[in-house]
A and B are shown apart, each in its own frame.
Chain A
Amino acid sequence: MMSTQTNQTVNQTARFSILSQDQKQRIFEGMIETLRNTGVHLHHEEARKLLKEHGALVDGVAVKIPQNLVMDALATVPPVTIVQSWDGSKKTLIEKNQVLFGPGPTPPNFTDPHTLERRKYVRADAAMVARICQALPNIGFVQSLGTISDVTVSLADVYEFAEMIQNTTKPILSWSYTRDTCRDIHQIAIAVAGGEEAFRQCPNYVFYGEPISPLLSDFHAMDKAMYCAKHGIPQVYTPCCIGGGTVPATHAGQLVCALSESMLGVVVAQLINPGTCVIMGGVQSIMDMQYSVYAYGAPELSLLSAALTEMAQYVGLPMFSTAGCTDTKTLDPQGAIEAATSVHSAMLSGANFIHDVGYFESGMTGSVLQLVMADEQIGMSHVVAKGIEVNEETMAVEEICNAGPGGNYFDTDHTKKFAASLWQPTLMDRQSYEDWAAQGKKTMKDRVIEKTRDIIANFEGPISKVPEDTKKKIADILQAAEIREAKKAEAENK
């Protein structure tokens, strides 16, 4: 059809905003002022030396960062980073407003999907979580939902990555205890990618590291960040800020802190390797004053995360956000309320990696049931977030006039063309009461459990496509790491 339109502004998606430009500018200025005047504590000598060489004021562990260092770092961060799945099947873009959801790392406990009991997280769980993530259409990246308890303690991070990367082609966000295990993970990724050069061209995972709030980086956090920067591994450098605990109770103050803490990682990484990808963000919520718990289901988490995402977009950094998590201890409506609220907020905000989908109990337990439920909520949120297409064809004036008052649209060509694009639920029930009752009165929880068990039983994942020699290389890396850690333990015992 020939267009007769001119001067049209359209929303291709819904638009959502917490902060005005002026508000963002003030928070940005707050970060500049905080790094310049209050500064940070940095427990890494080499990093301090580097910062001092570039004009930072260093006094013991205290480092004050002048604004030109921040501005220079922001000038070299990449606008686009590409992460490729190891089999080459899919590229993931890390760029402004490109949204992906995924689980989170490291809860000590896990909800067993068969017994529904809370138990320790084991090695086999890492493979299972990766497979479930692979099967869920609205989950875009993979984290483990637990810390492996049945391997050498100091290598739980490496075993986790080795299990996950063979069971998913979606990007993995890995973490590590130390530079050593950070390197082990890197080596596995190189083995899977088919060599160092191939990995450098297109990395197949993102590393996740965490400074400590407020305004403090311990040795290992900075050491790993420097390793990743040097080797061009895209990395997340983000704190967990606890409003009223480790940062001010007012949201604006929390945003200043969170931004400042990530910015330290950005500055160091850009000094080491200008153009390397650093993702800011983190978990942003408040301390529940009744129970002294870090509230993962609080609406403040949604609000702060969306606002921090706007700050990330303002400074030109990708954002690691949080959603789909809950303070409930079991799959129930509370988990659904809290997850739906944060999922929709994070979706609308346009964050890049939205993590912690599947966290129960304020991050103390990982649950694939919560993950499977949230996958459906993300699907619902997506329908709203993508907005409404308004054009001659979708407005259907001709159809409406042809059908006439009280007309029927069933089976028309227009309906046949567009009805398929309406959302199809997989866990939401829309049957009549009678049909629902006849089928055993199942609640959504029952359906979530069924779907989860069905995926576990029947979904293969890509493990059979991992070449034998790659598997061998992974086993060798694990073995070498075991020997190294054993020697370390021995040395410590002496």
Chain B
Amino acid sequence: MLEKTMLIKMNQQVHGTTMFQILTEDQIERIYFAALDVLEISGARIFHKEALELFASSDAMVTETNRVRIPTSMVEQALGSCPSKSNLTGRNGKRSVKLQKNEVAFGSGADAPFVYDRKTGERRKSTFADVEAAAKIVDYLPRLDFCMSHGLVSDAPNSKTYDRHQFLAMVKNSTKPLVVTSVDGDGLKDQWEMACLIRGGEKEFRLSPLFATYIMSDSPLMSNNEIVDKLLFATEKGIPTIFSPCSGLGVNAPATIAGGLVQTLADALLTVVLCYLKKPGLPLILGGVQTIMDKDIETLSYGSPELHLASAASTEIYKWLGLLSSSSGGCTDSKVVDEQAASESVMSIYNNFMAGTNLIHHVGCIDSGLNGSLSSLVMCDEIIGMIKQIGKGIQVTDESLALDILKEVGPGGEFLSHDHTYDHWKEWFRPTIIDRSNFETWTENGSKNYTDRLEPEVDRILESHEPEPLDENIIQEMKKIINLADKKEV
């Protein structure tokens, strides 16, 4: 072998990871300019009193019909104030999600009204216990980074406080950072207060947020008062905020994906400006669901390839603008965990991961977002592992090129017994539920298909995993906040 001491290969640029791109910078710019046009020409409609006042006292135009039109200069000023990074940190301070360019985190979600009962198999409304179970599984799974309420707590004392109960169920059972949804501004305030209890104060939360809040808007360019309430509260307190405009292509958005992107971006930029007017500096994580909508049943498809494409493109646009991004992934329209659920989950995780979306939520959601599946969560954990393996790319070094090893083994030889193989095979992905045994071994083990192996694994995690307990005093303090809300809302 050549002595390598004084040899150096110069001017080498490598791909540190796999590279993926839907849009060029020129295409992104065009979409951005088009969105600015929409905000100048057509604008948005706002009904919230404080928001209207904020806009009216700025350079924006507010018409008698509550139409708000925003000049480009304001948008660009507001964009300049958005933080480029923000970290979410779980309750014990050990597990965190880095929100910064090209960092990707996956999490469960979100607020599914139904669940399959694990004992009876029956489809029923989800409860506090279901959210706890999902949080426990998220706490266990190595490739899920944050916990978002998998189900809607239907057994809360009243329908206007379920969000506080979801928060408790999650924070008790997972030390990972949270993403929360709130019924309204008051709900967000209570959740924030509970988080401040855990973190030890308001400034502590601001420096190291325990959760991000997820705000979905399903009426393009027309955020309702509850959405604005939440946005304004989050801005005041520095709660990282996911804003996710959802639309159906050809129903409440243009039928073209480029058109959907323009509309979504206009909506996102409007939110950027509103938050800026309230108080500059909110960490905004922008998302968007542009997908196929069945206009008769008004459900959005969570498995369509158009959604995966539009989400990846959205991420690229937000990255270019220096903003943080989010999207749904690991979800499906299938009613059960089957080949469709697997296919759609792979496609969404693949494209969103490669695009570099910061927060990928809704992992494990089936039935177009209506059913929170624990089985799908566990399946997606394995899928994420596979996709990340592809995303790592390939190292090209003297060690990995292994030319000397190849020479040593020679034509017709074998590498199985070579030290080089022993040193490196552990870099490969190792499956957990996926089975690679041969037919005979598989038959001897009972010819179990993927689902047959998946379900016992879910049960095993539920039975054996004990999340780090949360201080009982803090739980009691949190319960006081919740009880107060329960009584007030009755």
Contacts and interface: CB of A to CB of B under 8 A. Distances in A.
A binds B: yes
Q: Interface centre among B21, B255, B386, by most A CB within 10 Å?
A: B255
A430 interface: yes
Nearest to A253: B402
A15 to B, nearest CB: 5
A297 B385 CA distance: 13
Q: Which 5 A-B pairs have the closest CB atoms?
A: A396-B259, A253-B402, A383-B305, A336-B342, A215-B411
Interface in A274-293: 286-291, 293
Contacts of A74: none
B256 interface: yes
Contact of B400 (A253, A299, A414): A253
Interface string A345-383: 100100000000000011011000000010011011111
Contacts of A340: 342-343, 346-347, 350
Given A362-B436, A362-B438, A409-B251, A299 B411 contact: no
Contact of B428 (A300, A337, A425): A300
Nearest to B397: A252
Which among A10, A118, A388, A396 has the highest number of chain B CB atoms within 10 Å?
Answer: A388
A37 interface: yes
B14 A22 contact: yes
A88 interface: no
B292 A430 contact: yes
Given A253-B405, A396-B256, A419-B255, 18 more contacts: A33-B403, A34-B407, A249-B428, A251-B394, A252-B396, A290-B437, A303-B18, A333-B379, A336-B338, A336-B339, A341-B350, A383-B305, A387-B22, A388-B309, A395-B258, A404-B45, A415-B254, A433-B335
B346 A248 contact: no
A242 to B, nearest CB: 8
Contact of A20 (B14, B351, B410): B14
Interface stretch (B140-148, B417-425, B476-484): B417-425
A325 interface: no
Interface in B338-371: 338-347, 350-351, 354, 367-368, 370-371
A344 interface: yes
Interface in A65-88: none
Interface stretch (A23-31, A129-137, A143-151, A455-463): A23-31
Interface residues of A, number: 134
A395 B249 CA distance: 12
Interface of A: 7-11, 14-23, 26-27, 30, 33-34, 37-41, 62, 118, 212, 214-216, 243-253, 255-257, 286-291, 293, 295, 297-300, 302-304, 306-307, 327-341, 344-345, 348, 361-362, 364-365, 373, 376-377, 379-384, 387-391, 393-397, 399-401, 404-410, 414-415, 417-419, 422-423, 425, 427-430, 432-433, 436-437, 441, 443-445, 448
Contacts of A388: 22-23, 27, 257-258, 261, 309-310, 313
A383 B306 contact: yes
Nearest to A218: B412
Interface string B12-36: 1111001111111111001100100
Interface string B397-415: 1011111011101111111
A327 B434 contact: yes
A87 to B, nearest CB: 33
B222 A18 contact: no
Contact of A404 (B42, B345, B427, B437): B42
A430 B436 contact: no
Contacts of B235: none
Contacts, number: 451
Contacts of A300: 389, 428-429
Interface in B415-455: 415-416, 418, 420-421, 423-425, 427-430, 433-439, 441-443, 447, 449-451, 454
B411 A216 contact: yes
Contacts of A390: 23, 27, 30-31, 258
Given A400-B262, A406-B220, A34 B252 contact: no
A212 B412 contact: yes
Contacts of B423: 249
Interface stretch (B175-183, B193-201, B294-302): B294-302
A481 B250 CA distance: 60
B27 A11 contact: yes
Contacts of B43: 405
Interface in B262-318: 262-263, 266, 292, 294-295, 297, 299, 301, 303-306, 308-310, 312-313
A333 B12 CA distance: 41
